[in-house]
């Protein structure tokens, strides 16, 4: 990467001089899938994978935050390259995995965005106790393989399975920089009747400390580095310093060992920086700018008031503040994410999977920034419209949902117009 670095340092310097907007390198041309069969979708009425064309107004999505240093910019470009380059078995792919690169899933309306691809979680619930079937390589299904004999399936013991839609990563560094104490303070704050919410306390593998989880549908990870290590391992099969062990298909280690005798750690340290692949990928995700908001209208301002009045804002808290950060671009900033990052009991909408600190009924309040680029919503993509997503709210959000159904036509239109500006 050394030669490329000196070139991009030049490019990055002119960015800092304000001459050109930083264009992260384009993704490499699509490769034929390096992998074996994809099992048939679980027939839940969910549209198949394959991203829609970028939404109108996609400009600005996927840009870096303003005010980065040259080193931050160049590390981010290296990380972007690792995020987009398809892996092959020679570069650590699999043998069991879900796709060939991060960008294969996180690609709408730009690299780093959301995606129509869903992953599958499963487990076994007996007498209300969820068992992730860890010995059978639960709870995440690795749906593809480079070696057909290693094809993983949902084990017969599983009696619950749920899909998870690919979430957008814009603004992840800002979300990470919100202090744990600020999220805990939101949990402790007084809320409208029927609404609770608690901070997810998870073990952060990167720092080996208990932290407030905030990433993922279940707030199952606290830091980008831990999520990235997990995604390298689970989504593309690339073992790394945080997750050094290859997944054996359905837990069958003998089978894995028979087909893959060499299981050295796949992630490589970049000699130019001394940083590992997961660290560089983290450096990229940390400085991804938040989704640029769409223009407000007279009606959307009215809709913002309706959003607060019917308690959407009690969970979808419009903004939070970051603390001080070693990265100046993340330090003491306002983050307009429309989420309290807390876990809520969502009743019938919940996915039945326990993960991290989240119980089977609990989901993290989904951030609503960038909502206008989405045409699949909720954790399993069950809703195609914002109206449907609201109508599917249950549990702690039941009162807010009912209030929505009782809005005047004008207020409802204003609310939807407001949500369409996010």
Using the minimum distance from each CB to ligand HEC, give the nearer residue, 12 or 416. 416
Provide the 10 A C-beta neighbour count for residue 399.
16
Using the minimum distance from each CB to ligand HEC, give the nearer residue, 12 or 238. 238
CB of 219 to ligand HEC, least distance (A): 8
Using the minimum distance from each CB to ligand HEC, give the nearer residue, 15 or 165. 165
CB of 59 to ligand HEC, least distance (A): 21
- CA–CA distance, 284 with 92 (Å, rounded to integer): 20
Using the minimum distance from each CB to ligand HEC, give the nearer residue, 82 or 136. 82
- CA–CA distance, 11 with 117 (Å, rounded to integer): 33
Adjacent-strand bridge partners of 209 = 204
What does each C-alpha distance from 162 to 78, 165, 260, 361 come to in angstroms? 34, 10, 30, 13
Using the minimum distance from each CB to ligand HEC, give the nearer residue, 134 or 253. 134
Helices 277-286 and 224-235: crossing angle, nearest 10°? 120
Greatest Cα pair distance, the chain, in angstroms, is 65
CB of 355 to ligand HEC, least distance (A): 7
Backbone angles phi, psi at 358, to 5 degrees: -85, 135
Q: In sequence order, what DSSP letters do the residues of 9-77 get, joined into one string?
A: HHHHHHHHTTSS---PPPPPPP----S-PPPPP--SSPPPS-PPPPPTT-TTTTPBPSS--HHHHHHHH
> Which residues bind to ligand HEC, rule: CB under 6 A?
98-99, 102, 104-106, 117, 119, 164-167, 169, 172, 195, 215-217, 224, 227-228, 231-232, 235-236, 281, 285, 310-312, 314-316, 344, 346, 349, 363, 365-366, 368, 371, 377-379, 386, 389-390, 393, 396-397, 400, 404
CB of 140 to ligand HEC, least distance (A): 8
Using the minimum distance from each CB to ligand HEC, give the nearer residue, 146 or 400. 400
Using the minimum distance from each CB to ligand HEC, give the nearer residue, 72 or 418. 418
CB of 158 to ligand HEC, least distance (A): 16
Q: In sequence order, what DSSP letters do the residues of 330-367 get, joined into one string?
A: GTT-EE-------EEE-GGGS-S--BTTB-TTEEEPPP
CB of 96 to ligand HEC, least distance (A): 12
Tell me 140's DSSP state.
B
CB of 232 to ligand HEC, least distance (A): 4
């Amino acid at each position: 990467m050394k030669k490329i670095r000196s070139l991009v340092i030049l490019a990055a310097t002119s960015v800092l001089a304000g001459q050109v907007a930083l264009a992260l390198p384009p993704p490499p041309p699509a490769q034929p899938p390096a992998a074996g069969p994809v099992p048939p979708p679980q027939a839940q009425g969910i549209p198949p994978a394959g991203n829609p064309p970028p939404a109108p107004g996609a400009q600005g999505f996927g840009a870096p935050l303003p005010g980065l240093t040259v080193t931050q910019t160049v590390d981010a470009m290296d990380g972007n390259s690792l995020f987009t380059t398809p892996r092959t078995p020679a570069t650590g792919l699999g043998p069991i995995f879900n796709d060939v690169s991060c960008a294969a899933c996180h690609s709408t309306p730009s690299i780093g965005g959301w995606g129509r691809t869903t992953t599958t979680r499963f487990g076994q619930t007996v007498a209300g106790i969820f068992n992730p079937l860890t010995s059978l390589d639960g709870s995440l299904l690795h749906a593809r393989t480079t070696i057909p004999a290693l094809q993983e399936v949902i084990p017969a013991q599983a009696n619950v399975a749920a899909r998870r839609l690919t979430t957008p990563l814009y603004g992840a560094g800002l979300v990470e920089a919100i202090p744990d104490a600020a999220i805990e303070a939101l949990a402790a704050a007084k809320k409208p009747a029927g609404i609770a919410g608690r901070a997810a306390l998870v073990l952060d593998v990167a720092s080996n400390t208990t932290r407030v989880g905030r990433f993922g549908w279940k707030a199952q990870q606290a830091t980008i580095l831990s999520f990235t290590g997990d995604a390298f391992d689970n989504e593309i099969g690339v073992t790394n310093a945080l997750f050094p062990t290859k997944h054996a298909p359905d837990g069958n280690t003998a089978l894995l060992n028979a087909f893959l005798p060499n299981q050295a750690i796949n992630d490589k340290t970049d000699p130019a920086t001394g940083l590992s692949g997961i660290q560089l990928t983290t450096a990229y995700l940390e400085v991804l700018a938040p989704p640029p908001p769409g223009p407000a209208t007279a009606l959307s301002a009215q809709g913002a008031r309706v959003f607060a009045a019917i308690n959407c804002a009690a969970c979808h808290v419009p903004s939070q503040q970051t603390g001080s950060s070693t990265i100046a671009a993340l330090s003491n900033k306002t983050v307009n994410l429309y989420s309290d990052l807390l876990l809520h009991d969502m009743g019938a909408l919940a996915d039945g999977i326990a993960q991290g600190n989240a119980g089977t009924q609990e989901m993290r309040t989904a951030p609503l920034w960038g909502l206008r680029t989405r045409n699949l919503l909720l954790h399993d993509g069950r809703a195609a419209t914002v109206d449907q997503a609201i109508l599917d709210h249950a549990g702690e959000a039941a009162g807010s949902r009912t209030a929505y159904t009782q809005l005047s036509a004008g207020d409802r239109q204003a609310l939807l117009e407001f949500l369409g500006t996010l």
